[in-house]
């Protein structure tokens, strides 16, 4: 029997070889692979949901936190969304081999750029069993191989989905190791996996901030950090009360993980108390738990609970929103840049000048003006699909799309 280290080495080597083959495989064959994933996932709903029920029963015995249980719980709707994402990927244009104008020319040669696959990608995820299928589809679409390492709390769901992914690959002409899965029961730790930089080209951790930070600190391979929660909204003096309420509430409605949920709101100090009371009352009726700074808590004790200072930079990952009065836009921008997660922040204002100042000043991946930052992996009205969000400037910042799984090759032709 192989030791865990030898077993891991075999997996990453075979995955790396598969990546080299996938990079040369036609877009048509890779498209068929994604279609096979969609078909088998759709045919396996009953088995996946049955396995997920076992995981949910285990999570109750293990006293797993509520957010993780929500991430773990699969529904027919969630699986249907997963299938629709895979179907969308199979129909969309091939992102690789796309030619891009080069930012420079070397005379007398011609210079251009081409999108190409990264190679071997590892996904380390906490709960979210369907993420393995979504990541597998995105990797096959872009000519990359994938290694998935889930968590113990979703072991039954992960096992069934892993079997579906392997069967789908087996039904195509793609390399058998195009998709590999590692069970926590195998004895292979997250640290062992993410230090295989000789064979891995990218590691994507997805889950609570503690998991993302652990992977970022331990990995020797390149890491694309994902982000969930702790997004800010600045409510300007000219901003509309009803729009502010709608933006906050809607941002929490994405499922299963409210990636861009507004959890902190900075309020211009000149907003009327009656408007504040109306907002607090409405959100409370919708099931939100509200917190605030000392000034607001003293004024509205029936709505707000006093928050601790460290909460300003910490995501709640549930329906909790904290409020703070602030002098003006400039101070709001400084506060947000200091404490937000840096991936999606908002402003509600009727002033064009304020909106431009906010956009220029906020150091975040996405900035929203008078609209909800609600996240969707398969948004209506577009062809793109997204795995998640990143606030990482070192690799890719913003929405994690199929192009995130590619890099650029520059060609100089004499």
- In angstroms, how far is CA 175 from the centroid of its own chain? 27
Tell me the average pLDDT across 128-149: 97
> What are the tens digits of pLDDT across the range 234-290?
999 999 999 999 999 999 998 788 899 999 999 999 999 999 999 999 999 999 999
Average pLDDT over the chain, rounded to an integer: 94
**What pLDDT, on a 0 to 100 scale, did the predictor assign at position 219?**
96
**What pLDDT, on a 0 to 100 scale, did the predictor assign at position 259?**
93
* 99 in a structural domain: yes
* 380 in a structural domain: no
Tell me the average pLDDT across 8-36: 96
Q: Could you give the percent of the chain with pLDDT greater than 90? A: 84
- Per-residue pLDDT at 181 exceeds 80: yes
* 375 in a structural domain: no
> What are the tens digits of pLDDT across the range 278-305?
999 999 999 999 999 999 999 999 999 9
Q: Kindly give the interhelix angle for 131-142 and 155-170, rounded to the nearest 10 degrees.
A: 30
Claim to verify: residue 252 and residue 353 sit in the same structural domain: yes
Give the pLDDT band of residue 381 (cuts 50, 70, 90): low
Claim to verify: residue 202 and residue 282 sit in the same structural domain: no
Claim to verify: residue 37 and residue 152 sit in the same structural domain: yes
Claim to verify: residue 64 and residue 188 sit in the same structural domain: yes
Structural domain boundaries enclosing 301? 231-369
* 351 in a structural domain: yes
Claim to verify: residue 254 and residue 333 sit in the same structural domain: yes
> What are the tens digits of pLDDT across the range 310-361?
999 999 999 999 999 999 999 999 999 999 999 999 999 999 999 999 999 9
CATH number at residue 360: 3.40.309.10
Give the pLDDT band of residue 382 (cuts 50, 70, 90): low
* 381 in a structural domain: no
**What pLDDT, on a 0 to 100 scale, did the predictor assign at position 97?**
75
**What pLDDT, on a 0 to 100 scale, did the predictor assign at position 60?**
87
Claim to verify: residue 13 and residue 120 sit in the same structural domain: yes
* 198 in a structural domain: yes
CATH number at residue 44: 3.40.605.10
Claim to verify: residue 257 and residue 179 sit in the same structural domain: no
Claim to verify: residue 297 and residue 363 sit in the same structural domain: yes
* 197 in a structural domain: yes
- Per-residue pLDDT at 163 exceeds 90: yes
- Per-residue pLDDT at 413 exceeds 90: no
Claim to verify: residue 200 and residue 52 sit in the same structural domain: yes
* 378 in a structural domain: no
- In angstroms, how far is CA 277 from the centroid of its own chain? 34
Claim to verify: residue 45 and residue 117 sit in the same structural domain: yes
Tell me the average pLDDT across 66-79: 93
């Amino acid at each position: 029997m192989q030791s865990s280290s030898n077993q891991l080495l075999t997996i990453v080597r075979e995955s790396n070889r598969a990546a080299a083959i996938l990079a040369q495989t036609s877009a048509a064959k890779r498209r068929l692979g994604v279609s096979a994933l969609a078909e088998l996932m759709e045919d396996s709903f009953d088995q996946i949901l049955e396995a997920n029920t076992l995981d949910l029963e285990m999570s109750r015995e293990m006293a797993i936190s509520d957010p993780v249980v929500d991430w773990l719980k699969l529904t027919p709707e969630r699986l249907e969304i997963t299938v629709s994402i895979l179907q969308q990927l199979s129909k969309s244009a091939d992102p690789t081999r796309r030619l891009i104008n080069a930012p420079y020319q070397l005379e007398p040669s011609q210079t251009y750029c081409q999108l190409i696959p990264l190679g071997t990608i590892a996904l380390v995820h906490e709960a979210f069993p369907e993420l393995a299928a979504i990541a597998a589809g995105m990797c096959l679409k872009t000519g990359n191989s994938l290694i998935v390492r889930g968590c113990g709390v979703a072991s039954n769901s992960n096992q069934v989905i892993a079997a579906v992914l392997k069967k789908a690959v087996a039904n195509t002409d793609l390399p058998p190791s195009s998709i590999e899965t590692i069970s926590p029961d195998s004895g292979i730790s997250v640290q062992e996996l993410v230090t295989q930089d000789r064979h891995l080209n990218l590691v994507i951790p997805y889950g609570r901030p503690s998991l993302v930070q652990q992977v970022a600190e331990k990995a020797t391979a390149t890491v694309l950090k994902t982000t969930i929660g702790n997004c800010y909204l600045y409510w300007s003096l000219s901003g509309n009360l009803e729009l502010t309420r709608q933006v906050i509430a809607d941002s929490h409605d994405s499922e299963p993980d409210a990636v861009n949920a507004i959890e902190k709101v900075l309020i211009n100090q000149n907003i009327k108390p009656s408007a504040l009371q109306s907002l607090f009352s409405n959100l409370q009726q919708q099931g939100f738990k509200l917190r605030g700074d000392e000034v607001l808590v003293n004024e509205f004790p029936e709505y707000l609970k006093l928050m601790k200072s460290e909460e300003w930079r910490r995501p709640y990952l549930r329906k909790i929103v904290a409020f703070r009065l602030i002098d003006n836009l400039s101070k709001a921008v400084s506060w947000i840049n200091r404490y937000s997660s840096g991936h999606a922040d908002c402003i509600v204002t009727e002033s064009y000048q304020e909106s431009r100042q906010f956009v220029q000043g906020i150091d975040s991946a996405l900035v929203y003006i008078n609209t909800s930052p609600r996240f969707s992996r398969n948004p209506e009205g577009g062809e793109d699909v997204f795995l998640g969000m990143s606030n990482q400037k070192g690799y890719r910042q913003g929405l994690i799309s199929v192009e995130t799984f590619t890099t650029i090759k520059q060609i100089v032709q004499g």
